[in-house]
Amino acid sequence: MSPARRVVVTGAGTINPLGHDVPATLAAMQAGTCAIGPLDIRDADRLQIRIGAQVQDYDETAHFTKAELTLHDRFTQFALIAAGQAVAQAGLDAHLGDRAGVILGTSGGGLGTLDDNFRAVYEAGRDRVHPFVVPRLMANAAASHVSIRHGARGPVFTVSTACASSNHAMGQALALVRSGTADVILTGGSEAMLTFGGIKAWEGLRVMSRDGCRPFCASRNGMVQGEGAAVFVFEALDHALARGADILCEVAGTAMSSDAADIVTPSQDGAVRAMRAALADAGLTPADVAYVNAHGTGTTLNDRTETAAIRAVFGAHADRLMVSSTKAMHGHLIGAAGAVELLACLMAVRDGIVAPTVGYGQPDPDCDLDVVPNAARSARVDAAMSNAFAFGGLNAVMVLRRWTALAQHA
């Protein structure tokens, strides 16, 4: 059996509340920008939760024709924009071909389309909807349209595992490229759930904050939703080197686990098993990791449980580990969260800049980690971990490693 191929990132793209591309997003992360503010959506006055992190100054007609917009829900639009940026940075051919695929994560899919058409049928009393409603709202719409746009004719599918969707999708992409099934996979996630119906449903869970997201802070009182997408080019190292691609970092490892315990309450054991397995898959020890981008939702139970899990995995090294949650800046992007948060890990291993946990005030003794409070930090990061722990008890962890010219021989 031939050894697994090494996998690298050769392109990245995004549109999210912090910026409409990767450079703007990383600059905002470095500056500690908070994009959470009042929601500008229909019937916001009927909501209890009236804050969120929206993509600002977005004009869909600047990116898509009228004909395209009849087929593209907002989550599909975001995915296409991010994928286009990633492919351009990677310098790939316009038509990727049979050895390329698309694996994206989403939780809500075309929720905006669903919300609009429920209004049309139930509120306005219409008896008919547009014939493209189903193609717009289906969860695989974004992956399919990215495949069509870029001529990716290999494996194409969508993963939907709530807040772990992107990490699960990227984990599958890593496995397929490693195995030789594909040379290139466009992977990440997209989400656009900031609709009246979407927020109203989340209100019922009583996990949302009315005044901001403060992960690991003693005053934290819930999560804040965001929207957007991030897409990466995962490419086999030999394929990337053969075409002279610029390598951003190495995708070192991944792992997944299920709590098999509770549909909404997080499990320390499940998180521990996923992190330990990801380190093993990457061939790293806990001491090799300098930074963890935490799931860090800002809820009381999640942050306490994740802190305990990190301490169980990293032991004494946890006192030297930098741990931050960028959700305090861009909100919780649900199915796209892991993808946008992987950008923070990319910035750490490539640029040596660790994104902060903004809005941090009073320390919580149950969250006694170095959470990089309020200001970014310069540090050498050879390996970074990104955590995603979802409703349903589903955990997915990604590990990135710094790339140097010498790394190809490691």
- Annotated catalytic sites, by residue? 163, 295, 332
379: DSSP letter: -
Token pair listed for 335: 């199915």
Handedness of CA 86, 89, 90, 96 (dihedral sign): positive
Name every residue whose Cβ is closer than 8 Å to that of residue 146 and which is 6 or more positions away in sequence.
Answer: 79, 80, 83, 102, 104, 152, 186, 231
State the residue for tokens 């003693």: 218
Classify 293 as helix, strand or coil: strand
Task: Dig out the tokens for 144 from the structure.
Answer: 């399919």
Q: What's the CA gap between 271 and 266, in Å, rounded?
A: 8
Q: How far apart, in whole angstroms, are the C-alpha atoms of residue 186 and residue 189?
A: 10
The H-or-E segment that residue 74 falls in is helix 74-90
Q: CA 244 to CA 11: how far, in whole Å? A: 13
Torsions phi, psi for 253 (to 5 deg)? -170, 170
- Cβ contacts of 396 within 8 Å, gap of 6 or more: 161, 164, 167, 168, 171, 254, 255, 256, 274, 338, 388, 390
- Phi, psi for residue 392 in degrees, rounded to 5: 95, -5
Start-to-end CA span in the chain (Å):
21
Read off the tokens for 274.
Answer: 């996923």
Best CA proximity match to 349, nearest among 274, 275, 247, 271: 247
> Which residue type is seen at 83?
A
SS3 158: strand
- Phi/psi region, residue 363 (left: phi>0; alpha: psi -120 to 50; beta: rest), is beta
Residue type, 1: M
Token representation of residue 147: 């495949």
* 36-43 long-range contacts, CB within 8 A, separation 24+: 36/212, 36/213, 36/224, 36/226, 36/328, 36/329, 36/331, 39/194, 39/199, 41/194, 41/195, 41/196, 41/199, 42/195, 42/196, 43/196
Is residue 256 within 8 Å of 179, Cβ to Cβ? no
